[in-house]
Amino acid sequence: MRWADLLILSVNKEILDFLMRNRFRVIGLVDPDQVPSEYRDKFVIIKRKIYDDIDRVYPSKEYLVGFIPRDKDSARRAGKINAVISIIFDEENIEFCTREQISVMIGKNVFIEILARSILDDKYYPRFMRYATSCIRRAVSEGIDVVLSSGARSFEEVFSPGALRVIERYITNLRGSLTYSWYRVLERWRIDLVRKIDSTKRAQEAT
């Protein structure tokens, strides 16, 4: 099993060590230059661009684009885009992920990205879990890809594969529904990258 964290906002040596020891091989970074050279060959790094203005969002093959909606209307507009971009929900905007939001996203290539760091905040935890549980269950049942990323800004906000699986078990109880969906997303986004990931895995297994 390959593990991925498609959105880490800030990395340092401690985070990279943690990810390496916990079998993460694919990481999504806003600023890939933060990664020291000795770690570069340990990971497949996906470049991310995150916007909060819907007018600036455009699909790209170089960057995996993410959009953080600040209001309901822009969340709906983003949901109608038929390209591989993510709509990112965290503790501040999870209430926009409603039944209507899911219904506009059906049949489109856009996917939902939930930031797991939101469950660490005691203040937002109950509200976030209530909205996130209904949103994710509805999206998964409609066949929309939901990716669970950490969205980490510090070491405290990074999650291990076991922790991500616990969150998945709690919310959907479907193995791979949140922790393996990144692979389906990348297949739709850039098949060449997926082949590269597969070939590096085979090479690692051979050695």
Partner 1 sequence: MILQKEPKKPRKRYLVFKLYSLGESPDFMVLSDYLSKYMRDFLGLHGLIDSSIKLIRYEKTTRYGIIRIASRDVNKILLGIIRIRKINSETVSIIPLKLTGNLNRAIKYLRRIESRPKT
CA torsion sign, 137 to 96 to 112 to 36? negative
| Torsion angle defined by CA atoms of residues 32, 181, 149 and 178, in that order, rounded to the nearest 10 degrees | -170
Number of other residues whose CB lies within 10 A of the CB of residue 100: 13
**Residue 156 CB, nearest approach to partner 1 (Å):** 5
From the number of C-beta atoms within 10 Å of its C-beta (0-12, 13-18, 19+), residue 162 rates as exposed
DSSP structural state of residue 114:
E
DSSP structural state of residue 150:
-
Query: Looking at 2, 10, 22, 77, which residue binds partner 1 (CB under 8 A)?
Result: 22
Rounded CA-CA distance 100/19 in Å is 36
**Residue 166 CB, nearest approach to partner 1 (Å):** 5
Does the footprint of partner 1 cover residue 10 (CB under 8 A)?
A: no
Query: Looking at 119, 152, 186, 194, which residue binds partner 1 (CB under 8 A)?
Result: 119
Query: Looking at 39, 155, 180, 183, which residue binds partner 1 (CB under 8 A)?
Result: 155
Rounded CA-CA distance 123/71 in Å is 21
Binding part of the chain for partner 1, among 1-9, 17-25, 74-82, 91-99 by CB under 8 A, reads 17-25
**Residue 159 CB, nearest approach to partner 1 (Å):** 7
Q: State which of positions 75-114 bind partner 1 (CB under 8 A).
A: none
β-pair type (24-29, 3-8): parallel
**Residue 89 CB, nearest approach to partner 1 (Å):** 18
Site pattern 170..199 for partner 1 (x: CB under 8 A)? x--x--------------------------
Comparing CB distances to partner 1, the nearer of 104 and 129 is 129
Amino acid at 46: I
Which residues contribute to the site for partner 1 (CB under 8 A)?
14, 18, 21-22, 119-120, 125, 155-156, 158-160, 162-163, 165-167, 169-170, 173
